[in-house]
């Protein structure tokens, strides 16, 4: 089993490595499902972490129908990831009708090579998963991250299993969404996947002693900006060891 940990910091990459993960997906803004991290974050993570680093290429939260300008941003971010030494990139593009945006996906794949390409959980919002899977295989995508078109992978096991059977080794199916030490054994057993994606995070208190409670820098951490989540080494180990 290949274990990929979703992280949002250099420290998270180090924790994932120490916990036994083979790969990390580096993101910003995990509260929005992950967006593209800064160039500095990509550079230092690739320099500091021994697991393979796959970089999220997503210019904003929300849907996966992008404007021409947003597509240009994604292209520049892919180039930045390549320059920084990333092993792969992660993106997903849909058309308004819920189909894979094949022409734009092809553009980004060609630009990304020779890096590995993962199509992320935008897939879980597509109209026809069987058709979409064939589209991704035809485009040469290396890996699909999916929760089986459900809120989490445990609920989506039937769909994930069907995708694994349909793929027949032509693309890697990676289960993600709600994967933890309690759900992983059942997800792995019921789907037959060989790769899983999870975020092993725990809340930590801010070191700030002087705290202002009625001024907020944004909505993501309301009502408490002095509490945030970090990737925890022991939690990574616990998830991985749950398969034993």
Q: How confident is the model at residue 214 (pLDDT cuts 50, 70, 90)?
A: confident
Q: If we measure between CA atoms, which residue out of 96, 105, 91 comes closest to residue 57?
A: 91
Q: Which CATH number covers residue 106?
A: 3.20.20.380
DSSP annotation string for 170-215: SSEEEEESS-STTTHHHHHHHH--SEEEE--EEEEE-S-SS--SS-
Determine if the pTM surpasses 0.75: yes
Q: If we measure between CA atoms, which residue out of 199, 197, 37 comes closest to residue 45?
A: 37
* pLDDT one-digit tens code per residue, 33-49: 999 999 999 999 999 87
Q: Which two tokens stand for residue 150?
A: 């459900």
Domain range for 77: 2-241
Counting the structural domains of the chain, the total is 1
In angstroms, rounded to a whole number, what is the distance separating the alpha carbons of residues 21 and 52?
9
* pLDDT one-digit tens code per residue, 82-121: 999 999 999 999 999 999 999 999 999 999 999 999 999 9
């Amino acid at each position: 089993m290949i274990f990929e940990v979703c992280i949002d910091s250099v420290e998270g990459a180090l924790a994932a490595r120490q916990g036994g993960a083979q790969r990390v997906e580096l993101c910003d803004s995990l509260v929005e499902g992950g967006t593209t991290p800064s160039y500095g974050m990509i550079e230092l993570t690739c320099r500091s972490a021994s697991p393979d680093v796959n970089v999220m290429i997503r210019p904003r939260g929300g849907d996966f129908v992008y404007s021409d300008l947003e597509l240009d941003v994604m292209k520049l971010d892919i180039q930045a990831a390549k320059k920084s030494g990333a092993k792969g990139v992660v993106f997903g593009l849909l058309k308004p009708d819920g189909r894979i945006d094949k022409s734009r996906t092809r553009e980004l794949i060609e630009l990304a090579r020779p890096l590995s390409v993962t199509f992320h959980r935008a897939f879980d919002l597509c109209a026809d998963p069987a058709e979409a899977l064939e589209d991704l295989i035809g485009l040469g995508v290396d890996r699909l991250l999916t929760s089986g078109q459900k809120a989490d992978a445990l609920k989506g096991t039937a769909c994930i299993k069907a995708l694994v059977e349909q793929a027949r080794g032509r693309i890697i199916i990676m289960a993600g969404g709600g994967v933890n030490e309690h759900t992983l054994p059942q997800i792995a057993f019921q789907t037959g996947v060989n790769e899983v994606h999870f975020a092993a995070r725990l809340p930590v208190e801010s070191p700030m002693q002087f705290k202002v409670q009625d001024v907020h820098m944004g909505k993501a951490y309301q009502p408490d900006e002095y509490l945030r989540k970090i990737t925890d080494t022991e939690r990574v180990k616990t998830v991985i060891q749950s398969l034993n």
